[in-house]
A and B are shown apart, each in its own frame.
Chain A
């Protein structure tokens, strides 16, 4: 091969040049990572319009060159094609480093095999083609595309993801490699994410991804913006959406500017608004939403080094169902027994109390550099500012003052080293430091729900991935985290004594008022987490994954310090400063089949959690508003296990069937009762017609069947109206009956030219306008869930 080419080359050279051109150029092509010679690399000599090939030692020679600039284009399978210019001055030698194995470095996406973050964890990737359907919705809604992921809701706009029955602090959310710090502890605190800013979302069940944190007892959600394309281009997309239910509308636009040099910039903005939603039979008064999101990033993305500066902002104003505002258990009992919302008004976009106003700023700067024969080093700093205002129904001029006013600021620094010189033995280690400051504004005139605190975290981790042979990959990881929480909390003296803290914690009192103690609790937690896993290829189209993960999660501020009335639940919630961390041991196994017509992913898991912290009713108190149940955070031992199945079957060229099923059980082992808020058995069946030749048209009908949860803890209680000694049961435990919903979705894409296209999507959710209530919606006591919703969305790509 090599010699005839050189002959051609020489001939060309002789024709073109007549000056004294006798110099020789010797090039050597090597792998950037481990320095091995790359035989067979193709070299195109642009100046001469000729080709040559590198020999077995990676070397190639071009003879009879004149002094001057030589332009070479070097390519090799699996490498990024490189163009270099060499100044020939006499005989010249030059070493060319090829950037090898881009797929394995997760730098490029391979079709039909989305780049996963982990090898042996139960990970599912949601791509942008699916995400675009959720432009008008929230992160929690989109994640339900993954079997085994459900959501715990407060109404329809506060949607928290729940992975294998666990939620809130047990799930880590990473937005562009920044761990979200947004007061995730409460069920009514939705993650502050604008789904439109994500291009791809990975859901990892369990804590297999140790680089992100050791406390992911439930799982990890990773949101990534679009990958940087290294070429001179401008592109973008704009989405307009409208929906009948809530008379909602949304717009989102993204614009990218990229350069071949690696420089890039992206801006993205979105706005969504809806008024009162509607259940099949009535309006859901005060369920409006006003959401603004903005994100911008720029940087330089080269193979060998790069940096990124990223900023995102989100501001949400969320109305809470008016009928859910209650003052006493009698109000709650009336709400449950009337089966109708107490307040229904005509449609409005107005958002009144009770409502939430939450803003979240996230800024990060990151830098990476790859070193030859070594790997990649990444450094990152990020800052987050989360402000949460909750407005309650209040009296007089206090109406405009929030009842909750918390500002949580977080600074993190992070350094990560990824050794991938030997792709069969990858090592990754890093350290992270974090400082967090929570400020509870005293101007609310309501005692602080969460106290002022400073929190310090330090973590170090090491993970490794070994490719034993083409059919077996092993991985393992170890992580240590230190957490220190230093709080300043006021306790009512009556509560302090009632909790028995006077005996154990009298040394932390630093001040007192006539009715309250000011205390300075300082707690340290040492947490170890670990994982080991294996991936075995059974044959060309199936593999098995097995994984064991140990995770430790320290108690959060809410579990430690909660102390007060939770209005919408008509209960007291009390934390306990005696808590220690909870420790989860999770074993999982998956079978993955990728046959020509049939795809199947079956994921089994067993998660046993020691000192699992959860809230349950324990006592009663008679107050000026009548009797109230007292719910206390308790530590118990818990078991969760289940199976998630996702399968698709290609019926014919145009027809496809998909099923998604999840089954889970959860038990409190100390009291031998089922855990609360565990999703019932659910199964989704979807039939899709797709015709690529007709504007890529597709239409699908989806059946959502959620069973009744038969296993639940009986936390019902009896209240006595002292007036006439009448007793009534407040049934807060019995889950709502099973329901079946049908959803329709269709879309088509009209391509105008190579870069411009329009995607039109029409959907109908809850096609039959079925009335139902969802066990995992905290407002299920007060109203039905959403009725029929027709959505229309236009997406312009340009």
Chain B
């Protein structure tokens, strides 16, 4: 038995081992190319929400409540209110929810995502200080548990007043109730919660 641990064989083995390790590291480092990552455009973004109320008797009497959030839920949003309701008139509401982050490829979130999954979504409306009433139309899209989703609605403007109008979109609610037409829900998470302040009926 020759006990000489510093012999050349062992040194060679050790050097080989270290060399192998370095090579392995280098190979993996070098294979990592310098290509830039591609940008991600958020797919579930809602950048533009608009509620367009058109007087059933006068197509020129239009009220638009619009919310613009260029970064969707990731950034600040602004409300724009155009026009005012006419006392006593009846309006049909047209909803629009868009993802316009990519101006060349605007996505229609309402028609492409929400309506195909109507049984998992629910629109809830609320007003305060303004004499507006709502009816979910008979041709409204069916929402969870046979409810009306709240996409096709008719609004009646009462006595002149000024107040707030709120729209909420609830995703995967536990229960929904549209018996008072404005609607209410429990559970789920809010994908949209916008309040337009200072809406007028003249």
A-side residues, CB < 8 A to B, are 84, 86, 94-95, 97, 304, 325-328, 330-331, 342-343, 367, 369-372, 377, 379, 381, 383, 393-396, 398, 409, 411, 413, 415, 433, 435, 437, 440, 442, 444-448, 451-452, 454, 488, 490, 492, 494-495, 510-511, 513-516, 518, 564-565, 572, 621-626, 628, 721-724
Interface size on B, residues (CB 8 A): 66
Tell whether, in the assembled complex, residue B117 and residue A342 are in contact, meaning their CB atoms are under 8 Å apart. no
For the residues of B in contact with A, the DSSP-based class is: mixed
Tell whether, in the assembled complex, residue B67 and residue A624 are in contact, meaning their CB atoms are under 8 Å apart. yes
Q: In the complex, A504 Cα to B127 Cα: how many Å?
A: 46
Tell whether, in the assembled complex, residue B43 and residue A328 are in contact, meaning their CB atoms are under 8 Å apart. no
Give B166 Cβ to nearest chain A Cβ, in Å: 4
Tell whether, in the assembled complex, residue B43 and residue A398 are in contact, meaning their CB atoms are under 8 Å apart. yes
Segment from B1-9, B56-64, B134-142, B146-154 that makes contact with A: B1-9
Chain A residue nearest to B193 in the complex (CB): A626
Most chain A C-beta atoms within 10 Å of own C-beta, residue among B70, B75, B193: B193
Most chain B C-beta atoms within 10 Å of own C-beta, residue among A409, A440, A723: A723
Sort A-B residue pairs by CB-CB distance and give the 4 closest, nearest first.
A327-B189, A445-B43, A722-B195, A626-B193
Tell whether, in the assembled complex, residue A433 and residue B25 are in contact, meaning their CB atoms are under 8 Å apart. yes
6 A-B contact pairs sorted by A residue (CB < 8 Å): A381-B24, A445-B41, A518-B37, A623-B72, A623-B74, A623-B77
Tell whether, in the assembled complex, residue B77 and residue A342 are in contact, meaning their CB atoms are under 8 Å apart. no
Q: A95-B3, A409-B28 are in contact. List 20 more A-B contacts (CB 8 A).
A: A327-B171, A327-B191, A367-B17, A381-B21, A393-B172, A413-B18, A442-B38, A445-B40, A446-B43, A447-B74, A492-B71, A494-B71, A514-B102, A621-B75, A622-B77, A624-B67, A624-B69, A624-B193, A625-B190, A626-B195
Give A93 Cβ to nearest chain B Cβ, in Å: 12
Chain B residue nearest to A341 in the complex (CB): B187
Q: In the complex, A721 Cα to B168 Cα: how many Å?
A: 12
Contact (A446, B42) CB under 8 Å given A331-B189, A342-B187, A494-B75? yes
Number of A-B contacts (CB under 8 A): 180
Chain B residue nearest to A338 in the complex (CB): B186
Tell whether, in the assembled complex, residue A448 and residue B1 are in contact, meaning their CB atoms are under 8 Å apart. no
Give A678 Cβ to nearest chain B Cβ, in Å: 30
Q: Would you call B84 an interface residue if the criterion is a C-beta within 8 Å of the partner chain's C-beta atoms?
A: no
Out of B39, B41, B174, B191, which one reaches A625, CB within 8 Å?
B191
Tell whether, in the assembled complex, residue A723 and residue B164 are in contact, meaning their CB atoms are under 8 Å apart. yes
Contact (A342, B186) CB under 8 Å given A381-B21, A723-B195? yes
Out of A367, A510, A518, which one reaches B39, CB within 8 Å?
A518
B-side residues, CB < 8 A to A, are 1, 3, 5-6, 10, 14, 17-18, 20-22, 24-25, 28-29, 32, 36-44, 46-47, 49, 67, 69-77, 101-103, 112-114, 116-117, 120, 126-128, 164, 166, 171-172, 174, 186-195, 197
Tell whether, in the assembled complex, residue B39 and residue A326 are in contact, meaning their CB atoms are under 8 Å apart. no
Tell whether, in the assembled complex, residue B74 and residue A446 are in contact, meaning their CB atoms are under 8 Å apart. no
Q: In the complex, A304 Cα to B104 Cα: how many Å?
A: 69
Residues on the B chain within 8 Å of A379, using CB: 14, 17-18, 21
Tell whether, in the assembled complex, residue A492 and residue B75 are in contact, meaning their CB atoms are under 8 Å apart. yes
Contact (A394, B75) CB under 8 Å given A433-B25, A511-B36, A514-B103? no
Tell whether, in the assembled complex, residue B164 and residue A515 are in contact, meaning their CB atoms are under 8 Å apart. no
Tell whether, in the assembled complex, residue A371 and residue B6 are in contact, meaning their CB atoms are under 8 Å apart. yes
Contact (A490, B164) CB under 8 Å given A395-B114, A623-B75? no
Residues on the B chain within 8 Å of A393, using CB: 171-172, 189
Tell whether, in the assembled complex, residue B10 and residue A369 are in contact, meaning their CB atoms are under 8 Å apart. yes
Residues on the A chain within 8 Å of B41, using CB: 445
Residues on the B chain within 8 Å of A447, using CB: 40, 42, 74
Contact (A330, B193) CB under 8 Å given A396-B113, A447-B74, A518-B36? yes
Q: In the complex, A494 Cα to B109 Cα: how many Å?
A: 23
Tell whether, in the assembled complex, residue A494 and residue B36 are in contact, meaning their CB atoms are under 8 Å apart. no
Q: In the complex, A440 Cα to B44 Cα: how many Å?
A: 18
Q: In the complex, A330 Cα to B168 Cα: how many Å?
A: 11
Tell whether, in the assembled complex, residue A84 and residue B187 are in contact, meaning their CB atoms are under 8 Å apart. no
Tell whether, in the assembled complex, residue B195 and residue A624 are in contact, meaning their CB atoms are under 8 Å apart. no
Q: In the complex, A199 Cα to B88 Cα: how many Å?
A: 79
Residues on the A chain within 8 Å of B193, using CB: 327-328, 330, 624-626
Residues on the B chain within 8 Å of A86, using CB: 1
